[in-house]
Amino acid sequence: MDAPRLTHVRVNVRSLVQAIEWYEELLGVSAEGHWPRDAPTYAHFTLGPTQFALGEYEPAPAVGARFNFEVDDVDEWWARLRLKAEVIEPLQDTPYGSRKFTICDPDGNELGFVQS
């Protein structure tokens, strides 16, 4: 049996419009797949083979997830993002051979940026 492949994750947000703006600035990628068309509560970003989605639902589901993004130059991402978001963990070398930092989005979700 083949191992499952992760193709889609969703972050629950309080305001889809504000979250789209924040993540577009953060990731440098435009949101796509706005649904439903007349009053969107969902949009996603295509990041490699995985969709990273945002969803605004009533009642608001719990937040507080953690997501790691693998990047080629974590120092460049740190220089770009460290003053634009709350820093949870500053840029650091890990004992397991990677370099990373973690920030928090406006809804309390943690976003790790990792260079292996």
Could you state, in order of their start, the residue ranges of all structural domains in the chain? 1-62, 63-116
CA distance 45 to 51: 6
Give the whole-angstrom CA distance, residue 67 versus residue 53: 12
Same fold, 1-62 and 63-116: yes
pLDDT tens track, the chain, 116 positions: 778 788 899 999 999 999 999 999 999 999 999 999 899 999 999 999 999 999 998 877 777 889 999 999 999 999 999 999 999 999 999 988 999 999 999 998 999 999 99
CATH architecture of 1-62: 2-Layer Sandwich (3.30)
**Which sign does the torsion angle of CA 80, 85, 98, 28 carry?**
negative
Q: Which tokens sit at 21?
A: 């703006």
Cα separation, 26 vs 88, in Å, equals: 16
Q: What is the pLDDT of residue 5?
A: 84
- CATH architecture entry for 63-116: 2-Layer Sandwich (3.30)
State the pLDDT at residue 1. 73
* 40/4 Cα distance (integer angstroms): 29
pLDDT at 100: 96
> Quick one: pLDDT at residue 80?
94
Residue 4 phi, psi (nearest 5): -65, 155
pLDDT for the residue numbered 6: 82
